[in-house]
Amino acid sequence: MKYTLDTIPVLDAFKSNCQCPLCQLAISCEDGYIDSLLSSAYMEPEVRIETNKTGFCPQHFALMYARRNKLGLSLMTHTHMKEFLPELKKILDDSSQEKSGPLPFFRGKQKSSKAEMLRNQIRRCHICTQVDTAMRRYAYTVIRLYLDKAEFRDLMRQKGGVCLPHTALLLELAEEAFSAKECQEFEAALSQITLEHLTALEKDLYDFTLQFDYRNAGKTPDPRVRDSVERAVNRLAGAIVGTEAERPAHND
Ligand SMILES: [Zn+2]
Ligand SMILES: [Zn+2]
């Protein structure tokens, strides 16, 4: 796959006050796709072909449902169900499976349980696919900037790297899209930055837990460690709690 650079949003995210710039870019991308889908993109035939085929994951169904305007969501869900029901019948109806043999996407597999086939069907999501594609482009840009620009290397060090899910994405992409030498250089630097940051965070979190010790009752909590639970959770799992996980407000 050929990747293009998307420098400005990456630099803006790394300069902003956040734990993981890639999480902030993912939230912003996701919000933009949901906006575009619910405002008019759901009427575009090529978009509808995709949403009919894949549907949405629980998180993205919930985010769309939270918007006030339900027309786009109801139309997309209806035509997805219409297309999905015959597939569902093939999975759940034994007589239909016997007649037609295994489903095309499971051919070659000896035996797939109904549960496994069902999970594979409902796991797909149009918005996840769009966000994943954009995040790979951003990850590619991060690695390129790190290798080429001393100023960006400083930014990466100041941030202490990114959350662990996005660390995995960066390592995967470095291996996939860069030369062995570049990959090795980036991987060594990112690993060191990540380990240093997480070691310091573990210490902050430990200090935070000590505040609950009865021997420290009445002492002023250390402001340095006040948000360490939030920081640790978001580092380990991606931005899922607190201000880091906040999404833009909408009235539509
Ligand atoms: Zn992240
Ligand atoms: Zn999704």
How many A from CA of 179 to the centre of ligand 1?
24
Q: Is residue 247 part of a domain?
A: no
What is the whole-number distance in angstroms between the Cα of residue 105 and the centre of ligand 1?
32
CA of 165 to the centre of ligand 2 (A): 16
- How many domains in the chain? 1
- Distance in Å, CA 30 to ligand 1 centroid: 13
Owner of token pair 């420098």: 7
Domain hosting residue 22, numbered range: 7-180
Residues for the chain: how many in total? 252
Residue with tokens 């597939």: 87
Residue 35, in any domain of the structure: yes
Is 21:14 a contact under the CB 8 Å cutoff? yes
Exposed (0-12), middle (13-18) or buried (19+): which is 217, by Cβ within 10 Å?
exposed
Spacing, Cα 92 to ligand 2 middle (Å): 24
Within-domain flag for 193:
no
pLDDT in tens, 228-242: 999 999 999 999 999
- Please give the distance, rounded to the nearest whole angstrom, from the Cα atom of residue 164 to the centre of ligand 1: 7
Is 140 part of any domain?
yes
Which of 70, 87, 7, 72 lies closest to 38, judged by CA? Answer: 72
Q: Report if pTM > 0.85.
A: yes
Of 169, 92, 162, the C-alpha closest to 136 is 169
> Could you tell me if residue 106 is inside a domain?
yes
- Has residue 214 been placed in a domain? no
Nearest ligand for residue 169 CA: 1
Between CA 143 and CA 162 the distance in angstroms is: 12
CA of 134 from ligand 2 middle (Å) equals 13
pLDDT in tens, the chain (252 residues): 778 889 999 999 999 999 999 999 999 999 999 999 999 898 999 999 999 999 999 999 999 999 988 999 999 999 999 999 998 998 898 776 555 555 555 555 556 788 998 888 888 999 999 999 999 999 999 999 999 999 999 999 999 999 999 999 999 999 999 999 999 999 999 999 999 999 999 999 999 999 888 887 777 777 788 899 999 999 999 999 999 999 988 876
**Nearest-ligand number for the alpha carbon of 62:** 2
The answer to whether residue 241 sits within a structural domain is no
Q: What is the mean pLDDT of the chain?
A: 91
User: Is 221 a domain residue?
Assistant: no
Side-chain half-sphere of 219: how many Cα atoms within 13 Å?
13
